[in-house]
Amino acid sequence: MGTSQTDLELVKRVQAGEKGAFDVLVLKYQQKVVNLVMRYVRDQHTAMDISQEAFIKAYKGLQNFRGDSAFYTWLYRIAINTAKNHLVTMSRRLPANDIDAQEAEQYDSADALRDGGNPETEMQKDEVHQAIISAIEQLPDDLRTAISLREIEGLSYEEIADAMDCPIGTVRSRIFRARESIEAKIGPLL
């Protein structure tokens, strides 16, 4: 019996009123969900809180789970959305960093990074290049493979899906997540 069939059996048991079956799903996927959420919040305690919230949402929504996708895929989406909602909520609460007039000039269309020829600009380009490479190396294997096949090898989404033996939607998601992660790491340099 495959993992998705086992999960589906547990889901059906929960839908039939057996609450203990959900505990099995929580134990099975708790660490994966926490690790997933850690990609967004980077704080273990916050990640655990968000993961718990995601499991509560999943439990409440389990009656609507139709089994069109694997349980973990469904839970994964809930966890990602919960983490993103948390980040949005936190960004509303925290004051934005103040930018003074001198710093504002640095943000003008990133002209400083486009100008070539001077040593400082070349150094900045090298720094950004190294940061991109480092960010790619730090990605989980599935994200690193997807983004490398797309951006370095130039493969289409269909070709990547074939190479990675997964649906195109999964490829798109992995590439999106990889780009988000890379952008978060190199953003301060830009």
Q: How far apart are CA 29 and CA 160, in angstroms?
A: 27
In the prediction, which pLDDT does 94 show? 47
* Domain boundaries along the sequence of the chain: 3-93, 113-189
Beta carbons of 180 and 146 less than 8 angstroms apart: no
CATH of domain 113-189: 1.10.10.10
In the prediction, which pLDDT does 4 show? 67
Q: Hey, is 67 helix, strand or coil?
A: coil
Q: How far apart are CA 62 and CA 82, in angstroms?
A: 16
List the pLDDT tens digit at each of the 190 positions of the chain.
566 678 999 999 999 999 899 999 999 999 989 988 888 887 889 999 999 999 999 999 999 888 887 888 889 889 988 998 898 888 776 444 444 444 444 444 444 444 455 677 777 777 877 888 888 888 998 998 888 778 876 778 888 887 788 999 999 999 999 989 988 888 777 6
Q: How far apart are the first and last CA of the chain?
A: 50
Class of domain 3-93: mainly alpha
In the prediction, which pLDDT does 66 show? 84
In the prediction, which pLDDT does 190 show? 66
> The tokens of 42 are what?
């980077």
In the prediction, which pLDDT does 131 show? 84
How far from 183 is each of 6, 82, 147, 156, 172, CA to CA, in Å?
Answer: 37, 21, 13, 21, 16
Q: How far apart are CA 8 and CA 87, in angstroms?
A: 31
